[in-house]
Amino acid sequence: MIFVFIFIFGSLWGSFSNVCIYRLPKNEGVVKNRSYCPGCKEIIKWYDNIPLISFILLKAKCRSCEFKISTEYFIVEFLTALIFTIIYYFYGISVTSILLIILTVFFVIIFFIDLKHYIIPNELTFPLMILGFIKSFDPNLNQNLFPNYINSLIGGLAGYLIIWSIIFLYKKIRNKEGMGLGDAKLLSAIGFWFGWASIPIVIFFSSIIALVSVLPSLLNKKRNLSAEIPFGPFLIIGCVIFIAYGNIIKSVIFNI
């Protein structure tokens, strides 16, 4: 029964994430105004705004104007609910679960905003950086997952400087932007959350996965090497890999 509750709780946060994904790039408030249909602008009734269920019952259409509702809404709600459930399965009711749930909400919002708009809002990265560093002062946290404040500080600074250096060098060599500072801030936040050892691991896996994902379009010439890609989602995937397998990878690479 508790898993059902956690899943429903996660879907509610997934619904809130959808609001943020839609409104933050438009600089609209995410709390005060009620949800509305992007097509007819009608306020969505509460019974048409039930996570997952309303999407299915309405057959992915607005009740008022039959405007097509993007499948992304359902994916975000289901994905968030699923991740919440997985976190509870592994960590139960704990501070670790609470922190990972907070991180999940931020990551889901960043993932889909960057995927669609090629931006990572400061409203998301700055709080993540601050929270990641502040939590590191708690000596009772899961030491296998979260670093102490010195490790956290080094990770945060290293994450930002590495991406900043890539941007600087690429601009010097090619005379154009290669990545955005949003990526630097996101990797910095990851460093603050998981320490310096997470940085090379996240960069490695995110780069490999990014390369594999764009390689087919490069080979069939639908995309060229200078084409812009949203790197934030790949950093997040790399971070998820670190969270799941970081201890094993660190023991092999760093012998720690």
For 114-164, how does the pLDDT look when each residue is reduced to its tens digit (9 = 90+)? Answer: 999 999 999 999 999 999 999 999 988 988 899 999 999 999 999 999 999
Q: Pick 173 or 81 by higher pLDDT.
A: 81
CA distances from 124 to 86, 90, 102, 113, 194 (A): 23, 26, 11, 11, 17
Cβ atoms within 10 A of the Cβ of 106, count?
Answer: 19
pTM, rounded to two decimals = 0.92
Q: Distance between CA 12 and CA 227 in Å, rounded? A: 36
Q: What was the pLDDT predicted at 219?
A: 75
Query: Over the stretch 6-52, which tens digit does the pLDDT of each residue have?
Result: 999 999 999 999 999 999 998 887 777 777 777 787 888 877 788 99
The answer on pLDDT for 108 being more than 80 is: yes
Single out the residue of 126, 88, 127, 117 nearest to residue 8, CA to CA: 88
Q: What was the pLDDT predicted at 64?
A: 80
Q: What residues does 68 pair with on adjacent strands?
A: 61
Single out the residue of 144, 165, 107 nearest to residue 250, CA to CA: 144
Q: Distance between CA 236 and CA 230 in Å, rounded? A: 11
Provide the token pair at 182.
Answer: 């949003």
Cα 39-122-33 angle, rounded to 5 deg: 35
Q: What was the pLDDT predicted at 43?
A: 84
Q: What was the pLDDT predicted at 44?
A: 81
Query: Over the stretch 40-49, which tens digit does the pLDDT of each residue have?
Result: 878 888 777 8
The answer on pLDDT for 78 being more than 70 is: yes
CA distances from 155 to 143, 183, 193, 202 (A): 15, 15, 8, 12
Q: What was the pLDDT predicted at 173?
A: 80
Q: Distance between CA 30 and CA 52 in Å, rounded? A: 20
Q: What was the pLDDT predicted at 125?
A: 97
User: Cβ-count burial of 114 within 10 angstroms (0-12 exposed, 13-18 middle, 19+ buried)?
Assistant: buried
Query: Over the stretch 202-249, which tens digit does the pLDDT of each residue have?
Result: 999 999 999 998 888 777 767 666 667 899 999 999 999 999 998 888
Buried b (16+ CB within 10 A) or exposed e, 29-66: eeeeeebebeeeeeebeeebebbbebbeeeebebbeee
Q: Pick 63 or 199 by higher pLDDT.
A: 199
Provide the token pair at 210.
Answer: 């990014």
Q: Which amino acid appears at position 225 of this protein? A: L
Q: What was the pLDDT predicted at 95?
A: 95
Q: What is the DSSP letter of 196?
A: T
What are the residue ranges of helices labelled H in the chain? 2-23, 53-57, 71-91, 95-117, 122-135, 149-174, 181-194, 198-219, 232-253
